[in-house]
Structure 1
Amino acid sequence: MTSTQNAPDTPTRTGPLAVVRRHPLLTFFLLANLLSWISWAPYVLSQSGLGVLPIHVDEITGMLPGAYLGPIFSAFLVTAIADGRQGLRR
């Protein structure tokens, strides 16, 4: 009979970094959306958006950082965690 249990010399990794390594595409999409919405929050809450905050943010400075920096930073972070320095060089 063969055993279906993990061999003792192959540890099972747990934690947030292991989740990123197992599911890099899902992590990228979640992180890109999260970072984009965080950077869009001042614009959405300003007088130009919902009017909750007493500040005025124009569309260019309010929308562009979220549109570009969220996905770019997410791609960099997930690649660095999943593939290490070799992945960043590629």
Structure 2
Amino acid sequence: MPAFVALLRRHTVLEPPPSPDYKVLRLAEACAVARMSVRTMRRLREAGRGPRVVRLSDRLIGVRHADLHAWLESRVDKMSECDC
């Protein structure tokens, strides 16, 4: 085995890939998943009824996939579920 390969093996730390639940979607991507407009999502957030967000920069926010999924699940209308 070449020396540089042995050196790489000793000094490379392999970390498991992050869970897909922690993938951060930009607001427009989260809106596409939820099938709603960005304006509607912003209105819901301003009213305190939107999903949790992650501030990515001063002007950019995102939504973790897990938070979006939990928010969507919380909005399921229990009355519409039937045993048809």
TM-score tier (shorter): under 0.3
Higher strand share: 2
Higher helix share: 1
Q: Tell me the TM-score normalised to structure 2 length.
A: 0.27
